[in-house]
């Protein structure tokens, strides 16, 4: 839980009493590789703050192809946010790629914390602001760039992930075929 405190205090300072209260809304969960935190069709009970491990958030389209909406690592939040915020069944999967731990927060907890502590509402607003900007940049990337450029951007955003996860997942994130991505490497060398 120390990590949680640090994570929040990176944005707003907390006293012990406040943190004790905040803590009560989070529960720790150990996750093993290949385990699903969220499965299509299920109720989306939680959003997750990653303490350790790597995860992918993806969905399967009508043709059975996978598309990755988000990767998540230490200190990232993740969920099927469409299902979570609208309280509808999951349309996505959240799968663990490297053993780790997450903190779970219900929508009720999120809203209660926001209502009770102005600080926490501020915290969540800032996080959303950053997320919003990142998504807009990704849309711009999808609208106008070549596979080459997308790969280069990705390398800058997540340099560490390049080594740690299969290339085919990167392709699914960038909206490019596995083969095309593979050929980029060889060409640029």
Chain contacts with DNA (rule: CB under 7 A): 34, 63, 65, 146-148, 166-168, 175-180, 182-183, 185-186
C-alpha to C-alpha distance for 105 and 130, rounded to whole angstroms: 19
According to CB under 8 A, which residues from 59 to 118 bind a copy of itself? Answer: 59, 61-62, 65, 67, 69, 81-82, 85-86, 114-115, 118
147 binds, among a copy of itself, DNA, none (CB under 5 to 8 A by kind): DNA
Where is 171: in which H helix or E strand? helix 167-174
C-alpha to C-alpha distance for 51 and 118, rounded to whole angstroms: 24
Which residue has 């809304």 as its token pair? 25
- If one counts every other C-beta atom within 10 angstroms of the C-beta of residue 186, the result is 7
Q: What are phi and psi of 119, to 5 degrees?
A: -50, -40
User: How far apart are CB 189 and DNA at their closest, in Å?
Assistant: 9
Q: Which is nearer to DNA, 45 or 52 (CB)?
A: 52
User: How far apart are CB 179 and DNA at their closest, in Å?
Assistant: 4
User: How far apart are CB 183 and a copy of itself at their closest, in Å?
Assistant: 20
Asked if 125 interacts with a copy of itself (CB under 8 A), we say: yes
| Best CA proximity match to 29, nearest among 4, 51, 9 | 51
| Best CA proximity match to 164, nearest among 110, 104, 99 | 99
Q: Which residues bind a copy of itself (CB under 8 A)?
A: 59, 61-62, 65, 67, 69, 81-82, 85-86, 114-115, 118, 121-122, 124-125, 128-129, 131-133, 135-140, 142-145, 175
């Amino acid at each position: 839980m120390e990590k949680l405190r640090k994570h929040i205090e990176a944005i707003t300072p907390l006293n012990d009493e406040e943190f004790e209260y905040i803590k009560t809304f989070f529960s720790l969960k150990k996750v093993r590789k290949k385990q699903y935190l969220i499965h299509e069709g299920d109720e989306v009970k939680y959003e997750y703050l990653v303490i350790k491990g790597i995860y992918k958030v993806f969905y399967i389209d009508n043709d059975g192809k996978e598309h990755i909406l988000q990767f998540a690592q230490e200190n990232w939040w993740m969920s099927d946010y469409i299902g979570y915020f609208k309280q509808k069944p999951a349309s996505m999967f959240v799968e663990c790629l490297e053993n780790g731990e997450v903190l779970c927060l219900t929508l009720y907890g999120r809203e209660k914390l926001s209502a009770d502590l102005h600080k926490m509402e501020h915290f969540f607003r800032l996080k959303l602001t950053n997320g919003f900007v990142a998504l807009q940049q990704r849309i711009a990337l999808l609208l106008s760039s070549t596979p080459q450029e997308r790969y280069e951007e990705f390398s800058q955003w997540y340099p560490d992930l390049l080594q740690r996860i299969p290339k085919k997942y990167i392709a699914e994130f960038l909206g490019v075929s596995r083969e095309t991505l593979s050929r980029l490497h060889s060409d640029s060398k």
